[in-house]
Every structure is written in C-alpha cells, then in structure tokens.
Amino acid sequence: MEKTYAIGLDYGTLSARAALVCCQDGEVLATAVKPYPHQVMDETLPDGKTKLGANWALEHPGDYILAMEETVGAVMKGKEALKDSVVGIGIDFTSCTILPVDREGTPLCLKKEYEGRPHAYVKLWKHHAAQPQADRINAVLQERGELEEIRYGGRISSELLLPKVLQILEEDPEIYEKADQILEAGDWLTQTLTGGKRRSGNMAGYKAMWLPESGYPDKSFLRQLDPRLEDLGETKLKGEMALMGEPAGFLTEEWANRLGLPAGIPVAPAIIDSHAGLPGSGVSRQNQMMMVVGTSSVMLALTKKPFARDGVVSGIRGGIVPGYYALESGLAAVGDMLGWFVDQAAPESCAKAAREQGMNLHTYLTGKAEQLKPGQSGLAALDWWNGNKTPFVDGRLSGVLAGCTLGTKPEEIYRALIEATAFGTRRIVDLYEEAGAQIEEIIASGGIAEKNPLFLQIYADVLGKRIRVSATEQTAAVGSAVYASVAAGAAGGGYETLQEAVERMSRIHEKAYEPDPENQKTYQELYELYKELSGLFDPGKNTVLAKLLEIKSR
C-alpha cells in the first residue's frame, strides 16, 4: 500500500510546531518548532509605549502565520517528493484565544489605525483581565437561576470567550463595532487556509457555551447582560460549525503554493491543543485518562453522559471523540510554577551546585527532592500561581505555601510545589469519577512527563492510578495529524473513524509508574490537608487573595 501523510500544526503559548506524520504507522518523519517573535505581551504593545493593565496577556497574529510558513516549510524540506502524498492538514490551538477581524479576515491589530489599541490584538487563553466581566456574567446567570445548567457548569471563567468579548465591548466599543467576526485564533487560521467561514464545534462547545441543539446562549440572557450583545451569535460569532472528523474546508491554491502542499486537501476543524493530545497520546478507551503536563496541565476522560460542575465540563457530544462526551479540566500552572521557583526564588547556592555538577537547576532540585519522603518537609502548597480552574474557577486566586520555617530547604519547596499540582489533579480525578468516568490508567504526555520520573511517581502515589507515558513527543501535533487523516477519509488516503486512526498512528511506552502503597497512605493524609487549606482560601468565604490582587492593580 502506498504511504500517505498528514501534517499536524500545534500552536502553544510561546511557540508553534509542525509534524509530518505517516498515516499508516504513525512514524513522525519530521518536526519543526518556531518561537513567536513577540512572545506573550503582558506589559506593553509592540510599540513599547502602550501599557497594558494587570492580568493582560496578548499575542500578535502575524506570529502565527510566520510560524506556519516556517514550520511547514521545514518539515517538507528535502521531502518534496512526498508532496502529493500529503492528504490533509490539522491545527490545534491554545483556547480560548480570540481576535477581532474585518470582513476580509484581516486582524484589526494589523490595520494601522488600530495598531495602538490593545483590544484589537489576540487575547491569549490566560488573559485574566476579563475577570470583572466573568463575575458579572456569573451574577446574571445566578439571578436567572441558570448557572448550574450544563451549558454553564456552575461558574464562568475569565478564560472563556464571552467575558473576553464583553470586555472588548465595554472598554473599546469601536473595536467591537468594527469587528466583522470575533474568532478563536484556531478558527482564524483554518478560515485563512480554506477561504471559508466555518468554525470549530470543539472550541465553541468547550469555550463559547455553544450547544448543537440550541446554539449560543439565549438572547434574553445576552440582552440582560448588555443589550448590544443580543445578536452576538448571528453577528460576531456567525458561521457554520464543523465537528471533529469532517473537513472545515479545503486548502486554497494560494496557501497550497505558500506552504508547498497540494491544493484542495482537507483542513480539519481547529481543536483545542490539549484535546488534540487525546488521540495523539493513544487514548481511545473509556478506562483511560489523558493528562498533558507542561507549562499548565489538562486532563480528559471519556464518558457517555454530560457533566458540568466546579470547573469540570464535558462540552458537547462528539466534540473530541465521536459518540462520547469528554470531561475536561486542568491546572493553570504546573511547569510555569516550577519555572517561577527556579527563576525567581531558588538561591544562588543551588544554581552554583547545579553548574558544578553540569546540570540545569530543575534537574538538580529534582534529584535533591527525590531523596525526601512524602510529608518530610512539613510543607503544603496551593497550586494557584496562575489562578484556579477547579473547583473555584477564579483567575484572581494566587499561590499559597504553608509550613515554612527557618530550616526549610529549596528542594523541599520544589517537591511541595510538585505535590500541590498532584493534589490539584486528584481533586479533578475525584470529580471525573463522580461524573461516571471509570479511570484505571492515565496516559501522560508533555515535556514534564517525558523528562521527570519523580513527578510521575508522585502523581501515581497521589492519584492511586497506573501512569504510562505517550511514546510520541509531539502528541498534540500528532493528534492534529490524526484528525486530518480522518477528515481525508479512507478514500482520500486516511481513515473512516478516529478509532482506526488512533490505533495506527499513536504509540505508548510499555513502562508504567505504579502507586506505592506506603506513599499512598501518607499522601492521603496530605491530600486531606490540601483540601482543608484550599477551603481556607475559598474565594466565596475568604477575600484575602482577591484583595491582594486589587491592591497590586492600583
């Protein structure tokens, strides 16, 4: 059988990567990474003068186009003979990441008259400056008695689409008015490649409160929130939805030439980056859970029933895997939190010792932390360095470290931070199982999973589950390629079902991390203390963290 190939494009927070993947056996022939030149803009716009407020996180859409052209060009370099065997392209993107565009699909920030307007730029997923808008949305839904409905899930996060749209409307109504569409960045890219107007049902279902049965939220609710939002679904969010497994459109001649690919191949609907990791990591059964651990983390588990509570959402049926709902939540900071400690708080003595031993500081601290027993440090931490998703859904919350003494060592803090992320994950897994998931095995992927055995052993002990690691380094990119192969279909050189594609195109390492019974006992005690500590800082009862942020923002 002649081999065929799919390209997966994975857009992360700081860079984008491409993978050229064989549809028949999952072999990754080439990968390429391109960091975004502007990176995350959280202090000023590109002019260096226009200042941003607290908790802003913007990006430049030109970086996404540059990354696409460079990475696709790089994976196809020297493989031009395979060009006609490329059967599809798929894109995943961090979400909810939105931008306003004009009728031609040009981002408003690229137009000279708006280049100095913050709201004309891309709002990254971790843009938390829309928290006041999220609070007001929650209050209106509470008043209407609708907050607990499956569409809303008990609380609306500032990371979702509606708070960000409302912030644009309130703070720069001209940008809102001039926008023909407000798009997920992933949808902007698929529309750019295809010349069409279809949107991703995956992104709309998980981040924009869209349901296949009824569409976007009720007009009366939107009108109560702000009369100018009443027709949001038919105006700024217009466009037919495409679900995973079908094409969003087909590659135009112009973009085929720019990327060096065949014109007319299917472009899969954009999917949330962490969701692409599910097929990319080899998760295909109900008794498995996908866990991506990098700068942040995401967990996904399949279920037959919808569920939404305490920051856990199941989105729409078929939004990730045809026929299933997929429970989703995660931690807003994992690697970012450990990176903060290494970059900002670890003493020079540790850095010096690491250099003398020829290792980086993370590796050095991990080695020291590995020598500690669970509970030995007397420390407990809350993993909220970038806000909390479950159970409080509040981007204003910040980290807590309890139990420090004059004898506390850097490696003890480092391990306590790892343990805090494991406890935050345990809280999510508990909710998943309450929702009906029967998790026996966790498939982990991401930079930390690939490099840090201590991290995974702590997680196995805290969660009481077997953990295996995906054998695919670029799981999201491979997952996007899997979706591209399904969009192509068997007749087009791909697959008819996602299950077939996953079985042929993804791989899992044989090595497993099994829970240690003795460590489990201690971690059960520490987990109860973690829940007690988090209860002390419940934002519904304790305003300390919110008030600290308020004072900081003055």
What does the alpha-carbon distance between residue 130 and residue 102 come to, in Å, rounded to a whole number? 23
- Residues with Cβ within 8 Å of 55's Cβ and at least 6 positions away in sequence, in order, are 127, 128, 129, 131, 395, 549, 553
Do 324 and 253 belong together in one domain?
no
Residue 247 phi, psi dihedral angles, 5° rounding: -75, 145
Final residue belonging to a domain, choices 203, 233, 267: 267
Do 111 and 240 belong together in one domain?
yes
200, containing H or E segment: strand 199-200
Give residue-wise pLDDT tens across range 301-321: 999 999 989 999 898 998 998
Do 302 and 439 belong together in one domain?
yes
Q: Give residue 316's identity as a one-letter amino acid code.
A: I
- For residue 32, the tally of other CB atoms under 10 A from its CB is 19
pLDDT of residue 1: 59
Do 245 and 295 belong together in one domain?
no
- 419 inside domain: yes
Do 233 and 307 belong together in one domain?
no
Which pair of structure tokens corresponds to residue 419? 């343990």
Do 229 and 298 belong together in one domain?
no
- 283 inside domain: no
269, containing H or E segment: none
pLDDT of residue 92: 98
CATH number, domain containing residue 240: 3.30.420.40
Do 79 and 140 belong together in one domain?
yes
- 274 inside domain: no
- 502 inside domain: no
Do 373 and 307 belong together in one domain?
yes
What is the distance of C-alpha 477 from the center of its chain? 13
Do 105 and 241 belong together in one domain?
yes
- 126 inside domain: yes
Do 176 and 310 belong together in one domain?
no
Q: Are 34 and 15 in contact (CB under 8 A)?
A: yes
**H helix count then E strand count, the chain:** 19, 23
| DSSP line for 397-430 | ---EEE---TT--HHHHHHHHHHHHHHHHHHHHH
SS3 content of the chain, % helix, strand, coil (to 5): 40, 20, 40
Q: How many domains does the chain have?
A: 2
Give residue-wise pLDDT tens across range 222-262: 999 999 999 999 999 999 999 999 999 999 999 999 999 99
Give residue-wise pLDDT tens across range 505-516: 998 998 999 999
What does the alpha-carbon distance between residue 75 and residue 284 come to, in Å, rounded to a whole number? 28
- 252 inside domain: yes
Which pair of structure tokens corresponds to residue 291? 């866990």
- 111 inside domain: yes
* pLDDT tens for the 554 residues of the chain, in order: 599 999 999 999 999 999 999 999 999 999 999 999 999 999 999 999 999 999 999 999 999 999 999 999 999 999 999 999 999 999 999 999 999 999 999 999 999 999 999 999 999 999 999 999 999 999 999 999 999 888 988 889 999 999 999 999 999 999 999 999 999 999 999 999 999 999 999 999 999 999 999 999 999 999 999 999 999 999 999 999 999 999 999 999 999 999 999 999 999 999 999 899 899 998 878 899 999 898 899 999 999 999 989 999 898 998 998 888 999 999 999 999 999 999 999 999 999 999 999 999 999 999 999 999 999 999 999 999 999 999 998 888 999 999 999 999 999 999 999 999 999 999 999 999 999 999 999 999 888 988 899 999 999 999 999 999 998 878 999 999 999 999 999 999 999 999 999 999 998 998 999 999 999 999 999 999 999 999 999 999 999 999 998 899 88
- 477 inside domain: no
Final residue belonging to a domain, choices 216, 235, 267: 267
Final residue belonging to a domain, choices 234, 267, 300: 267
Do 253 and 330 belong together in one domain?
no
Do 219 and 301 belong together in one domain?
no
Of residues 385, 272, 298, 293, the one with CA closest to residue 333: 385
What does the alpha-carbon distance between residue 285 and residue 8 come to, in Å, rounded to a whole number? 23
Query: Domain range for residue 326?
Result: 290-464+516-554
Which residues does residue 395 pair with via DSSP β-bridges, in sequence order?
Answer: none
Question: DSSP 3-state assignment of 273?
Answer: helix
Which pair of structure tokens corresponds to residue 44? 């000023």
pTM over 0.75: yes
> What size, in residues, is the chain?
554
